Amino acid sequence: MNNLENLLNLQINEIMDSEVKEAMRYSLLAGGKRIRPRMVYAVAKGYGIDDDLANHFAYAIEMIHTYSLIHDDLPAMDNDNLRRGKPTCHIKFGEANAILAGDGLLTYAFEVASKANVDASIIVKAIEILSKNAGANGMILGQCLDVDDNRHMNWEDIKRVHYYKTGCLFSAALELGAILHTLNQKVLNQWNSIGKELGLAFQIQDDLLDIHQSAEVLGKSTSDERNGKKTSVIVLGEETATTTMNDLYDHCLEQIKTFEEFEPSYLIDLVKEVQVRIY
């Protein structure tokens, strides 16, 4: 993890000096579990691929994730003041710089991915995966659905929000690790499906943690209740939500074992670690 932090910082050092650069660095290096880049590495390692070949894709997915957090915290969105145990980007640097920092991380992610030391066909596929999963048919769609008035949403509606808002970047991370081994679309679609399920399980878990942990423990504001949002726990009840979460994680673990020429233990260990997280 420390090596990943150092490498991310080196990427930011390549940017020209400005207040926005420091806002980008502040949010990107504020900590976090680094689940998405670790997924990239775990899939690549499962296919026998060296970390050095996966680095730039891991950097890119974390930059896109961090950009999404910066924008999600803005006053026009969730209006949160705490992220990763620190003041949110707009509280620290002002709203304008926070918007620009998010924009900067999103666009820089593609520049970084384009510099991966792999065949051009893999880079093109990586950019397609990042664009599709982060864009208007992916995470942005989830964000759009999430900012809508959700007081009348049922479980299927909430699932759709989480499949896109959270699941798409999980899918992208798994696919980015896989393309270092194969560009077979059928295989990539399997990874995409697992990512969607993992994202849903992860978000149910977040909803459960929100009712049991303080903002100080979680390192972020618990704004859903303040904003009057329906969550999986509100719709399903705590017991059913917990069962649903564990069933989803267990199904993903079984699916991970089905890939040919893939050693699943690295990714399985990561998923199990995520399943028992307390923040």
What pLDDT, on a 0 to 100 scale, did the predictor assign at position 214? Answer: 64
What pLDDT, on a 0 to 100 scale, did the predictor assign at position 230? Answer: 85
For residue 236, give both structure tokens.
């399903």
Say how far apart CA 180 and CA 264 lie, in whole Å.
16
Strand pairing class (82-83; 86-87): antiparallel
Tens digit of pLDDT for each residue in 168-178? 999 999 999 99
* 3-state SS, residue 149: coil
Q: What are phi and psi of 87, to 5 degrees?
A: -55, 140
> Other CB atoms closer than 10 Å to residue 22's CB: what's the count?
16
SS3 track for 125-137: HHHHHHHHHHCCC
CA neighbor of 102 nearest in space, from 61, 75, 64: 64
Say how far apart CA 162 and CA 142 lie, in whole Å.
7
Which stretches of the chain score pLDDT less than 50?
none
Domain boundaries 2-275, corresponding CATH code: 1.10.600.10
Q: What's the one-letter identity of residue 30?
A: A
In Å, how far from its chain's centre is CA 121?
24
> What is the model's pTM?
0.94
* 3-state SS, residue 225: helix
Show Cβ contacts of residue 136 under 8 Å, excluding neighbours closer than 6 positions.
none
For residue 235, give both structure tokens.
């719709």
